[in-house]
Structure 1
């Protein structure tokens, strides 16, 4: 009914609600209360006694082409529905859904819907050995994750959701349970730099702050401009390979900072090298940061772990440059009163102390930043 309409993003507000108060037995119109995740209580009516009772299964055969800048990725797989019978009231309401209940399954977080492909297999439900009808829906398309947590980048763990719902049946008109049938992901995801941690299927109720223009929803839910549907969220959790992340993003930084931190140990007489090292290193750090920034979403409203570490090391580099500049100025000033040798010895001692201080903070800062990003 509303499948294509619901695929558009931003047109709805979703939340999980507690179904414990849902009465599924009484045939007469009843009142029930459901508490939303935001604490708001809403009341519904007219729960069907003769619900569509079924079991839903899902598999992901391929997950690939993750784009962190947009939060999109491609998924291919199957959804299937098992049931013994379909309520007669559905025949009068929608003959197509009655004959093929799997057609009520819609995908919520699909993008580029014009390229999204589905195919029923077989064209009509088939009878299984245990007396249940079963039918499969093959799907293939581009999905989006709107809330990726990249605060620990490049050591982050991300969750890629695939959300499906029963588009044509209000909550209370269906009683569909998830039926595990082995591994959800049948093959390792083809995403470079990430490894599969686990995959979970989470049933929930998907709510919208609209009745989609259907006034019957106002009386059914006993609430204006509201509707709710059974839904399932398949969460694929991926973790980035720490060694690969270190080699590609932080190893060049470590090499550059070793040169920067040891720059104060260069003799003051070689002041040109002493000044050139941090100045050149700062430009290198800017290019290195720009490299990893290209794979992150633009305009993140929080700094990542890599941002904090790179920014801190840029600050250290600037401090080393200023320190070298001050030491050089004092060294040349000492030439006016003939204390050049004494100043060189004093500069060497102070440079050693400055080196130890910068080394200490450079070793401690990454751990502290990591702890702060995990909160």
Structure 2
């Protein structure tokens, strides 16, 4: 009895030490955590016509929307409509993507090529001629990345064409690599990503600011070509959108006055992963491994070495599986849904190993006990634990995984 009491005392001390170490680790990591400072630039969806779903009741079931920034509200909408009418220069911009390819989530970025066309009226043409410039010199692809060939707009004709209504028209081609600003990484492996091309007025001096130059999306003729929606193997196309935004730079670029606003067109194609493909590829192997942990208590108690070895093997397998899928993603400052599932798997595996060690000690004690009621009661408790473990862990896993999914914000 004295030996049992001494062992129980050391077990309590061991548990207290583990809890204390865990608390100190949490406090230490929390104190070292870095808070993110938000950027001061902002995007606001303008009142111009758009091919973009913004109504909440029309969004897909996962809450995904291609909208960037916030919508105008109240009196801001009417003020922006009046500003659109009063703007001195108007450019109608259309985008038609021929192909999208070479998606790289680790950056994240993608490659694309296609056409951009612009139509403008005489006042803007007079401005360009007075400054001896072409329109493409005042246009930038905002999210373009440096690559072998810098993404630029290349005019198809040497000079803009004059249409029958007196407007000027210029067709451009583009090819390049572009940065991805929106993706539902929190829901990985059930991902949705937006592949955008952002076109903005490039005029630091302010002569073509938001109040003077407004872009209007050509929603009727914009779209995507044959390979734009199918060029990324393994992803499902969810449609395209185009809209104008007001891009507020939190600076006047040292020229004095208020912060600068510019008109910005964002054209994007949305892709999503197949839920079944993601499940079979990433979730099923994890499920099979965890079933081994649940069934470890069905092995005969006298095979203690085999019982204790399975959680260790499972733990190494979990580490390997997690490293494989993490290699597909950028370094994220948060846990994805699959990360949370693996955390649950780690907890269950560790708990199973500790429980197996404890049960093994109890069986060792039982062997030294004389035949009688005490030994029979201990044997029944251990057998009951072997029966209850799989069911209790299935229930715990189900609640934990569902909670991890439900707590992800809609559209995140």
TM range (shorter): 0.7 to 0.9
Distance 2:39 2:339 in 1: 33
Residue of structure 1 in register with 2:41 after alignment = 13
Any residues of structure 2 matched to 1:348-367 within 5 Å, and which?
A: 348-367=383-402
Match of 2:323 among 269, 278, 290: 290
Residue of structure 2 in register with 1:74 after alignment = 111
Question: CA offsets per residue over residues 223-244 of structure 1, 9 Å max, x none?
Answer: 2xx2221111123222111111
1:194 aligned to 2:194?
Answer: no
Higher helix share: 2
Match of 2:139 among 69, 92, 105: 105
Contact 2:94 2:221 survives alignment (8 Å)? no
Residue of structure 1 in register with 2:251 after alignment = 210
Runs of at least 5 residues in structure 2 that lack an aligned partner in the other structure: 1-37, 49-69
Match of 1:334 among 353, 358, 366: 366
TM-score in terms of structure 1 length: 0.80
Residue of structure 1 in register with 2:284 after alignment = 251
TM-score in terms of structure 2 length: 0.73
SS at match of 1:15: strand
Contact 2:103 2:111 survives alignment (8 Å)? yes
Higher strand share: 1
Runs of at least 5 residues in structure 1 that lack an aligned partner in the other structure: 1-9, 21-34
User: Cα offset for 1:152?
Assistant: 0.4
Over 6 Å off, 4+ runs: 35-39, 46-50
Residue of structure 2 in register with 1:184 after alignment = 223
User: Cα offset for 1:38?
Assistant: 12
Aligned pair in 2 of structure 1 residues 146, 17: CA closer, same or farther (>3 Å)?
Answer: closer
Question: CA offsets per residue over residues 256-302 of structure 1, 9 Å max, x none?
Answer: 1111111112121111111111111111011111111111111x221
Distance 1:48 1:241 in 2: 44
Distance 1:301 1:141 in 2: 28
Question: CA offsets per residue over residues 29-56 of structure 1, 9 Å max, x none?
Answer: xxxxxx99799x9x9xx99968223321
Aligned pair in 2 of structure 1 residues 142, 18: CA closer, same or farther (>3 Å)?
Answer: closer
Any residues of structure 2 matched to 1:1-375 within 5 Å, and which?
A: 13-16=41-44, 51-87=88-124, 90-91=127-128, 93-97=130-134, 101-112=135-146, 115-118=149-152, 119-128=154-163, 131-168=166-203, 169-182=208-221, 184-186=223-225, 187=227, 188-214=229-255, 218=257, 223=258, 226-298=259-331, 300-339=332-371, 342=376, 343-375=378-410
